[in-house]
Structure 1
Amino acid sequence: MATPNPFLQFAPNRAKRVHIRLNESLWLESQSLAVTAARPTAGHRPLEVAKKERRSPIKSGEAWGKLYDQRWFHIEIPAPPKGKAKVPRFLEWSHQGESTLYVDGVPYYGFDDPHRAVVLPPGVREVWIEGYCCNTFSHPSVSPNGSIFNGASLKYRDETVWDCLQEMNVMFDVMMALRSRQEPKPAPFVPMVGLRPKVDDASPIYRKVLHIIERACDAYELDGPAAMSRILVEGRAELKSERPLLTGILHGHAHIDLVWLWPERMGEAKAVHTFSTMNRLMERYPEFRFSYSQPASYRAVERRAPQLAAQVKQHIARGAWEATGALDVESDTLLACGEALARSFMLGQAEFARLRGARGPAQLVWLPDVFGYSACLPQLMRLVGVEQFFTTKLTWNTINRFPYSSFVWRGNDGSEVVSHVTQNVGYNNGVGWSEVESNARGHSQSHLHREFLHPTGFGDGGGGTTEEQLERARRLSGLCDLPELRWDLPENFFERLAKLRAQLPVHQGECYLEHHRGIYTTHGDFKAIFRGTERALQVREAVAAATGEVPDLVAPWRRLVFAQFHDFVPGSAIAEVYAEGRAELSRITSEQLEAARNRLSTSGLAVAKAKKSAAAKSSAAAEEQLFNPLALPWRGWVGERWYELPPLASVPAEVGATAGDEAQATASIAKNGAASLRSDRVQARVTRDGRLAELVIDGRPITFSETAATAVLYPDNPGHHDAWDIDRHSLELGKPVTTPVTITVEHGLSEPPTKASAKSAAKSRDTSTAVASASAPAHAAAICVRRKLGKASELVLRYEVRAGEPVLRLTADVDWHETRTLLRLHFPTEYRGRFARFGGPFGSVLRGQQPGEPITEAQWEVPGSRWATVSLDSEREGLALITEAKYGFSARDGELTVSLLRGAETTCAIGEYGGAAPPHLSRYQPESPFTDQGRHTIALALTSYSADLPQEQHPAVLADTLFTPPVAYRGAPASAGLLGVHDAPTLVPAWAMPVAKDAWVLRLHEVGGARGTARIDLAEGFVACPATLHGDAQGKPLKDGALDYAPYKILSMRIERTKK
């Protein structure tokens, strides 16, 4: 016999070969099965329908379907051979697309690349499989010809080999991880030829692992897999740490994008697919713990597979499955208005309370994949009873590493939540040595808190956690100084973390993501429709508050909230998602506005009928009214009249004051080609090349550093993620548009602030835009600058003043046909204070604008909730830029810019991710593979900014009043009882939410970082008291209307009629 082998460096090659042989011997007695299939369909139909359809045999290698098509397959299962009735039989399904196995009519298991075989229950004689022409991007996608079916078979698994393979998987993983740390650094793979690095100077633990593997391979060759398993188990015991320093808390996870590279119907199918697999694994692994957020998915499963949903609820009840997340969907937190974001919490918590039963609403906000986190988020969380927050996305920062893993996140108002961010890993994690060790190494607060969270499983159709991951978790814990691993639920993890709250570091303000800066602008047409739906629901609820109605608006709110999903409104989904979304939200907008007008009219009739006098009845029913749907006073022009409407109330259309000579607006062009505008409050001068040279608001000149309103085109070719990103290098390559211009002047309103005049709307309820005639009074004047833009586009920039308004309106009518191009408007000023202020969903946020600091430099494009300002440090002199539905801004060294349009590649349309969804397989073919092609009307406004200006001139207020017209109707007057909110210039009344007959909630938010006492002025017979976010009374009625407010606070006041 030879002497003992001195060459441990050969162990990796030997282990690799033995690993291959184990895999080859895992499956026994494979039996191919005949499969029949129904026809593929674009619509997803239930099994009950598919059973009635004709089927035909399908052969291995056959490709079928267009993208997202559904196809039902049927298999007859033969009886097991004699003597094997109790031996587990596995069904292996080989199909490119994601598929779900149904047994006895109930989803049983999800087939995908990480999940290819499942044990069939004893006695089953037939199964159905729901297949889809779709595959998650993380794995090979469907072929150019559709989803390829490669057969189905019954197999028996050699359980001895299976156990040995799991032991070998772990030891091989440890060996390769330790090998990568040796010096000189070896190749990342095991080479077939060449010198093998000696291990004389290797770490002792690495040599130990190699020795264990050598002994295990010896045992395999001499006595087979059982003997090998024994050696590996003994070796694990030698390598296991007695007292690991850290603990990795594992929990099953499957991040499902409700829409992204697929439309909504496919996102629903992914939920059924994943839930069925996790349900099955829970039966086989009692220690397994799984969590999932998004009530939208739970409702989809309840609708499509109610029996599966019932099984999931049983797991939730026994504490194995955690439904948590607080929001109805994993929502974007930057683009929705504050109320829409609040409704995602309110709707979500109601659903979590239903799903969780006695445990009550969720205690955790779960947002692993959102593109930035608003500073108002901690406050909203606390308002719905949540004190825990989790994400992984901040690890995507590209310049400044987020400094903490466990910390206290303090919102801009002071609200605090205990938070955890995984570092060095994402949310599609395996249970491998390198992933666990990397997560542990990134746990910056490990000296304070020994635990870190480790989400485990494949998302987006990958089916969640796998059997192999569960087996690894049983074996890998504590090996070679690796952390202890154990399964638990995320909320339990956070409860333990909260006990260390006082020791944790604090991060205050927003959590800005240094990535995906293009999502504030991409698919701007959809963002405008989204904003229109927000406004329509605001109008609908305002009318309800004023007329004593509590309509059931859960359905439209759910659909708007669904559109807040983080790959929907940001613009990163496929074209089909936006085609469906535009149609749905446009319909909801029309329905809600029509319902508001009808309610005002019918409510007026009811009031009139209650009157004793028939004459009074007739008069009330016939009177033309204008209703202000804002909780703010509204001042502006409707047709030829100037109106000043109280909050949430109507006035007769005839009471408006006709504009006199003192309320004129003029526009003129000088001989040198320059043009000027003038009203009673605004003066503006435009150069002969169409740029803004001078602007004076109420006698306060804006100090521009050079001509402003300059259109600049940038090449927009990010290194990755076309729809998501605007890269820094693009901003160095921008070129101002200098094409020849045609300048004209106009007088009269070209687009009145109402969608129709009071009279025409009252008669016909026509929602089309009325155009002023040439003879309209000159209470509005405009300068129109027309020019070519880029290679194939045109821009008409309209500067407009209206008598009585403290703003210069800008309307960009763009016929956009540029690709891979960004269009911005620039406003350079001398306002170089340290910070610029940007609107948030609630409140606002200060961000650095002076160059130099890394955090400021990384914020070359930032989100703003429809307004932004630059000013001197005093915030007593500056410029405000207000938009109707634009969210991408930049402020640097006094220059304020707004991004208008991108021509980015639509996701999957050409290159990136195209393999996941081949464009030619789609049933929906957009006119262009680039976003935002076509005509756009973009409304903006400029005004002077000072923190001490009255409330009606604050940009947060103007963002509503400039773009929310009154509602014209015929009927009796309506009022919610609010006369005004006074003595608080930065406290913005934002929304009226009906909660009961003759009771509604006034939502307010502070936007300037100020403190004070406001006075809420109510009509006689009304009373106000503090309330919860949902509107439940909380405290005593206000004394003399006095309401204390603090910086950035969200306040809710319940206003109701006093009982007679």
Structure 2
Amino acid sequence: MTIEYIIYITYKNLGDIVNKIHLVGNAHLDPVWLWRWQEGYAEVKATFRSALDRMKEFPDFIFTCAGGAYYKWVEENDPAMFEEIVIRVNEKRWVPVGGWWIQPDCNIPCGESFIRQGLIGQRYLLEKFGFISDVGYNVDSFGHDGMLPQILAKSGLVNYVFMRPDVKENDEIPSVLFQWESPDGSQVCSFRIPVSYSDYIGSTRNCYEEKLRMAAEEVSRLDMDLMEFYGVGNHGGGPTVRTIKTLQKVGEEIGDKAQILFSTPSTYFHQMKKSKPSLEVYSSSLRQHAPGCYSNLLSIKRGNRQGENALLAAERFSVLSGWLSDHVFPSESLQRGWEGLLFNQFHDLLGGCSIERAYQDAAALHGEVSTIASREENMALQKISWKIDTWWIKKAMGKDKHWQSWEQDDFGIPVVVFNPHSWEYNGYVTNKICCSRVEDESGQFDPHQIIRGAYNNNKDEKWATLFPVSIPPLGYRVYRLYLTKENPEIKSYVNSMNITQHSIENQYLVLKFNPETGSVSSLIRKETGFEYISGEASLGLVIDDSHCDTWGHGEDRFDLVEGRFGQPEFSIIEEGPLRCCLRVVTKYGQSKMVLDYYLTEDGHDITVRGRVLWLEKYRMLKIAFPVKMINSECLQSLTFGYDRTNADGKEKVGQKWVALRGEDPLGRMGILAIANDGFPAHSFQDDEVRLTILRSPEYADHMGEKDGFIPNIDMGTHSFSYALIPSDAAEVESEFVSIFRGAEELNLDPTVITETYHKGTLPLIQDGIAISNENVFSSALKESWDKSGYILRCSEISGLVSDTTIELPLLGVRFDASFTPFELKTFKISKKDKRVQEVNLIEL
């Protein structure tokens, strides 16, 4: 008898007399938490073995489990057990759900990470079991980004199961079953687990009896079917013999209120869409539980951001290299990198609430990800740079002038700059050699500045060359750096910058500091006189959160200011003509923070590079930005978009930027955006946003025991960066291009390769992509899963309807595409005939 027949007979017999409780047997498996991944690996196998045994003992029992990584572990380590699972899947007794590689944190990863969770997870299910899941499944994740419905739906996951936030944490979510809608209009039918996804223990009858009776009461109150999840979880385990017998017995006792059946999430959603075709719609992020998790472990959060950027750049450059050379896209290597990165996005790991040893393992895995990405990027780019025709010297190479360069007779050192972005990059790069002159590929003079290098090698070899570049979208450009060639044009170059001990200024902006506190006291746009700052900005605040546990359970804000960094010391690090840098050192207790403020001569934003020696236990570091705007609103980035947040002082989590928008005292509209390089938490109240840099509870201190035995998180030295991006725009949509690009460029620099003289077939400048609309950008360019084409993913980021022309000149491909606001589109370009077709996110 098949499970479909069992379910059919059950429903036929029950009819519409009473509502049903769909019992979902599962085991929540944390591969890492209060244990290392090796223990999680063993627990997956033990749990799967137990579930298979239960199927032999109870013919109606069905097991549900999410996480492609777990199935791969079993496939590799116990192929025989994996074959048993395949048989049970074919019988529909075992139901793989989720369609993702792992159950990740659902706020911190970038949009492409969520897409790859689905691509790799769903493709694994399709290859091993012959189907893709239709149920997204992140039952323990602490919140859910508002753009996920689009990503889920376009990955085949039209239903979604979650538990957090619960009704006490977010009472605006309608009922337990609703349509969750993202800003583009995509919807997924979503179920919020009302009690719990699993249980810690399986030995007592009362645990499951209580849950089932509560579910029966809820079914009666709501007058609708519900799912009830059972099985020992977190450290695996799943349904036990006693559990199943208890549920069967209690099910008989509550028969007048509800009927129970062993079921699956897919079955539940299928039945509910028939009985309740119209559901309430919720159109916002599902937030938020455990706000402390979004500032724990700065290193893993920045490591995740860096890994994402590195893998995406390696993919783009590998495709570009394949178009320009004989380079073969390294699909297996990069997939290994993605699987490692996606594993480290597990919610308890990326959320910073696991044991200390787990983070040593995670750092090692991030190291592998970085190594894979950098190796593949370097291979791809050096295939290109080696084929560029730099043979302008037309004589034998030699290091007669400098031991680190091949320059001969003032012919210039070829330096190739690669742009990883889908728009033209206009910014600055450095070369570690101190040069006298810089020219572009046509011999045109380029101004430069000698700055302090990142090394000391004898008395004189500690200087580097900073110079401006303009690089085509997803392309490259060759510059020539000269060691001794004269530079007469520099005499006529006008220096528009000015720096003092307490201010930096260029032709667009004036940044002033309070000499008493070290804070930013003023940020003015010269053209309009718009003042963005009110009070003391960019100042370190020390927050007392000693009453909190690692998660921040029961908290929704961190606002107990214990003190402020002070005792400032100012020093000028760089002094024009292209860039100025003012260093501000402040202290608090035994802690010290160094902030380097960079402003370029043509810059419309300020980059801040920070380093902090943090020694404050059970405290949090925030950096505040009060703005001189009336009734400002706060905007925070989502994956592929943005939303608005309340001025309530609660701890929030975004993506790569947060912005304040409001009127100055003269009624003019302004925006101050602040981009980050991996610390996504912030709060907003009274026209002030506070970035949360880090916090230092004990590792994995569940419910705040604080017995002093466990080390504190984030003690020591940390680096971070942010950018201040001011604007005068009246309409926020028109400024999202500059905000978005500024945030992306803060997180991903161009790649610079110092070359030699050689003949080649490639030109000195080359572009790789052209997108006609600035508000449409490409988030991914890679080889397709089936290796028959290329995947180009684009999205609209400003909330505008856009008709766009996209061109890939090296392929001779040009096509038009229409985007609705915040729409995400995936295009597959055939290698064979260059035909373009739109596919979903899992490339089907």
Change (3 A) 1:798 1:578: same
What is the aligned counterpart of 1:626 among 414, 417, 428? 417
The answer as to whether partners of 1:244 and 1:483 remain within 8 angstroms in 2 is no
- 1:417 paired to 2:209: no
User: Which secondary structure state, in structure 2, belongs to the residue aligned with residue 272 of structure 1?
Assistant: helix
**1:588-616: CA deviation from partner (whole Å, max 9, x where unpaired):** 2134223312222224446779xxx999x
Higher relative contact order (CA 8 A, sep 6+): 2
Amino acid at match of 1:371: F
For 2:421 and 2:45, locate their aligned partners in 1 and report how far apart those are by CA, in whole Å.
42
What is the aligned counterpart of 2:715 among 909, 920, 933? 933
The answer as to whether partners of 1:882 and 1:940 remain within 8 angstroms in 2 is yes
CA-CA distance at 1:718 after TM superposition: 4.0
Change (3 A) 1:1058 1:978: farther
- 1:706 paired to 2:540: no
The answer as to whether partners of 1:631 and 1:991 remain within 8 angstroms in 2 is no
The answer as to whether partners of 2:22 and 2:261 remain within 8 angstroms in 1 is yes
Change (3 A) 1:458 1:998: closer
Change (3 A) 1:724 1:647: farther
CA-CA distance at 1:364 after TM superposition: 0.4
For 1:646 and 1:698, locate their aligned partners in 2 and report how far apart those are by CA, in whole Å.
30
CA-CA distance at 1:710 after TM superposition: 2.2
Please name the residue that 1:990 is paired with: 779
Change (3 A) 1:892 1:802: same
User: Which secondary structure state, in structure 2, belongs to the residue aligned with residue 265 of structure 1?
Assistant: helix
Q: Which runs of 5+ in 1 are unaligned?
A: 1-240, 670-674, 749-776, 850-856, 920-927, 1025-1036
Mean Cα deviation higher: 429-438 or 343-352: 429-438
Please name the residue that 2:3 is paired with: none
For 2:771 and 2:321, locate their aligned partners in 1 and report how far apart those are by CA, in whole Å.
20
Please name the residue that 1:562 is paired with: 343
For 1:909 and 1:291, locate their aligned partners in 2 and report how far apart those are by CA, in whole Å.
27
For 1:370 and 1:974, locate their aligned partners in 2 and report how far apart those are by CA, in whole Å.
48
How high is the TM-score relative to the length of structure 2? 0.81
User: Which secondary structure state, in structure 2, belongs to the residue aligned with residue 1008 of structure 1?
Assistant: coil
CA-CA distance at 1:735 after TM superposition: 3.8
Change (3 A) 1:911 1:888: closer
Please name the residue that 1:86 is paired with: none
Amino acid at match of 2:499: A
**Where do residues 752-901 of structure 1 align in structure 2 (5 Å cutoff)?**
778-789=577-588, 791-833=589-631, 835-849=633-647, 857=648, 860-872=650-662, 876-901=669-694
CA-CA distance at 1:243 after TM superposition: 7.8
- 1:666 paired to 2:498: yes
**1:280-318: CA deviation from partner (whole Å, max 9, x where unpaired):** 110010010110000111111122222111111111111
For 1:392 and 1:580, locate their aligned partners in 2 and report how far apart those are by CA, in whole Å.
28
Please name the residue that 2:9 is paired with: none
The answer as to whether partners of 2:44 and 2:236 remain within 8 angstroms in 1 is no
The answer as to whether partners of 1:597 and 1:967 remain within 8 angstroms in 2 is no
- 1:497 paired to 2:298: no
Change (3 A) 1:353 1:832: farther
Number of residue pairs matched?
A: 741
What is the aligned counterpart of 2:41 among 244, 250, 268? 268
The answer as to whether partners of 1:597 and 1:968 remain within 8 angstroms in 2 is no
How high is the TM-score relative to the length of structure 1? 0.65
Change (3 A) 1:560 1:832: farther
For 2:168 and 2:777, locate their aligned partners in 1 and report how far apart those are by CA, in whole Å.
33
CA RMSD of aligned residues (A): 3.4
**1:62-113: CA deviation from partner (whole Å, max 9, x where unpaired):** xxxxxxxxxxxxxxxxxxxxxxxxxxxxxxxxxxxxxxxxxxxxxxxxxxxx
Please name the residue that 1:457 is paired with: 231
What is the aligned counterpart of 2:222 among 439, 446, 454? 446
For 1:965 and 1:999, locate their aligned partners in 2 and report how far apart those are by CA, in whole Å.
27
The answer as to whether partners of 1:316 and 1:322 remain within 8 angstroms in 2 is yes
**1:677-708: CA deviation from partner (whole Å, max 9, x where unpaired):** 01233211111121111112463524323231
What is the aligned counterpart of 2:83 among 310, 322, 325? 310
For 1:293 and 1:608, locate their aligned partners in 2 and report how far apart those are by CA, in whole Å.
52
- 1:1023 paired to 2:813: yes
CA-CA distance at 1:250 after TM superposition: 0.6
The answer as to whether partners of 1:604 and 1:973 remain within 8 angstroms in 2 is no
**1:953-993: CA deviation from partner (whole Å, max 9, x where unpaired):** 52221111133221122385598854433344x33333322
For 1:506 and 1:950, locate their aligned partners in 2 and report how far apart those are by CA, in whole Å.
29
Q: Which runs of 5+ in 2 are unaligned?
A: 1-13, 323-327, 397-405, 431-465, 757-761, 835-844
**Where do residues 594-605 of structure 1 align in structure 2 (5 Å cutoff)?**
594-605=375-386
For 2:735 and 2:766, locate their aligned partners in 1 and report how far apart those are by CA, in whole Å.
20
Please name the residue that 2:403 is paired with: none
Change (3 A) 1:911 1:724: closer
CA-CA distance at 1:550 after TM superposition: 2.0
Please name the residue that 1:164 is paired with: none
Please name the residue that 1:906 is paired with: 699
The answer as to whether partners of 2:736 and 2:798 remain within 8 angstroms in 1 is no
- 1:343 paired to 2:343: no
For 1:427 and 1:296, locate their aligned partners in 2 and report how far apart those are by CA, in whole Å.
20
The answer as to whether partners of 1:405 and 1:444 remain within 8 angstroms in 2 is no
Amino acid at match of 1:496: Q
The answer as to whether partners of 2:768 and 2:810 remain within 8 angstroms in 1 is no
Amino acid at match of 1:642: P
Please name the residue that 1:383 is paired with: 154
Identity among equivalent positions (%) equals: 20
For 2:139 and 2:703, locate their aligned partners in 1 and report how far apart those are by CA, in whole Å.
27
For 1:704 and 1:664, locate their aligned partners in 2 and report how far apart those are by CA, in whole Å.
23
What is the aligned counterpart of 1:694 among 499, 522, 538? 522
Change (3 A) 1:990 1:510: same
**1:394-420: CA deviation from partner (whole Å, max 9, x where unpaired):** 326436364311111111211011111
User: Which secondary structure state, in structure 2, belongs to the residue aligned with residue 826 of structure 1?
Assistant: strand
**Where do residues 366-377 of structure 1 align in structure 2 (5 Å cutoff)?**
366-377=137-148
Please name the residue that 1:541 is paired with: 315
CA-CA distance at 1:532 after TM superposition: 1.3
The answer as to whether partners of 1:518 and 1:726 remain within 8 angstroms in 2 is no
**Where do residues 512-661 of structure 1 align in structure 2 (5 Å cutoff)?**
512-513=287-288, 515-548=289-322, 549-552=328-331, 553-605=334-386, 623-639=414-430, 640-654=466-480, 661=493
Please name the residue that 2:438 is paired with: none
What is the aligned counterpart of 1:283 among 45, 56, 60? 56
User: Which secondary structure state, in structure 1, belongs to the residue aligned with residue 317 of structure 2?
Assistant: helix
Amino acid at match of 1:509: S
Change (3 A) 1:272 1:999: closer
CA-CA distance at 1:1050 after TM superposition: 1.4
For 1:999 and 1:242, locate their aligned partners in 2 and report how far apart those are by CA, in whole Å.
50
The answer as to whether partners of 1:296 and 1:329 remain within 8 angstroms in 2 is yes
Please name the residue that 1:427 is paired with: 198
CA-CA distance at 1:1019 after TM superposition: 3.0
For 1:826 and 1:388, locate their aligned partners in 2 and report how far apart those are by CA, in whole Å.
40
For 2:355 and 2:319, locate their aligned partners in 1 and report how far apart those are by CA, in whole Å.
38
Please name the residue that 1:235 is paired with: none
For 1:1005 and 1:509, locate their aligned partners in 2 and report how far apart those are by CA, in whole Å.
19
Change (3 A) 1:704 1:999: same
Q: Which one has the largest radius of gyration?
A: 1
**1:815-860: CA deviation from partner (whole Å, max 9, x where unpaired):** 11111001111111143557421111221122122xxxxxxx4x71
For 1:325 and 1:250, locate their aligned partners in 2 and report how far apart those are by CA, in whole Å.
17
Please name the residue that 2:132 is paired with: 361
User: Which secondary structure state, in structure 1, belongs to the residue aligned with residue 694 of structure 2?
Assistant: strand
For 2:42 and 2:700, locate their aligned partners in 1 and report how far apart those are by CA, in whole Å.
21
